[in-house]
Amino acid sequence: MLTEPRGRTRFLSDDELATLLAAARKHSTTMYAAIVVSIATGVRQGELLRLNWLDIDLERQLLRVHLSKNDEPRTVHLPQSACDALRALQNAKVRAIGPIFITDNGERLKKSTLEARWKRLRDSIPLANMRSHGLRHSCASYMAQSGATLLEIGAQLGHRSPSVTLRYAHLTQGKALPSHAALDEKLRG
């Protein structure tokens, strides 16, 4: 019996991330904000494009996803870098309500438009073998490498099943956890 192929988990290396962010910053305020928010929060492209300014709380650093792939709303932390990118976008677009990611004529950015811009930007670097969904994988991979649990990663990404999050388990294997220090202290007792 044939097995299903494992999902791709391509994520950005540190050098690729630096190159991408520099290119995105030069490209436009919109693309820079879209890329930073995508990586910082792990939201899916559709979730990103459905965001409105009312879904963002820059003071409390929260982003609210109302409609997700699994129909379960979630609130995720918005790191300072993403807040800064959104503030710059807000100042550039001079909009306080409505959709966050808009075209020059004020219409909500479509997935096809964002994808075309992503491909032009990606190819200009060049960034080999990286789809826009790889930004989401980068979020999860960076979180895993920084000590987040698979449960925390799954909650951030909005995974319904822990088995989906297991694709990032190899990044945490053998890594010292914060609880190891407390356990070590007890054993020294």
Q: How far is CA 180 from the centre of its chain?
A: 28
Q: Measured between alpha carbons, how far is residue 121 from residues 9, 26, 50, 86, 143 in Å?
A: 21, 10, 22, 19, 25
**pLDDT of 108 higher than 90:** yes
Q: What is the CATH number of domain 14-188?
A: 1.10.443.10
**Structure confidence at residue 4 (pLDDT):** 37
Instruction: Please tell me the pTM assigned to this model.
Output: 0.82
**pLDDT tens for residues 70-94?**
777 889 899 999 999 999 998 886 5
Mean pLDDT of the chain: 84
Q: Which residues pair with 63 in a beta bridge?
A: 56, 76
Q: Report whether 10 contacts 134 (CB < 8 A).
A: yes
The residue ranking higher by pLDDT, 59 or 142, is: 59
Looking up tokens 């490498």 gives: 145
Instruction: Report whether the peptide linkage leading into residue 126 is cis, meaning its omega lies within 30 degrees of zero.
Output: yes
**pLDDT tens for residues 121-172?**
999 998 888 888 889 888 888 888 888 887 888 888 887 776 666 666 555 6
Q: What is the DSSP string of 70-120?
A: TS--EEEE--HHHHHHHHHHHHHHT-SSSBSSB-TTSPBPPHHHHHHHHHH
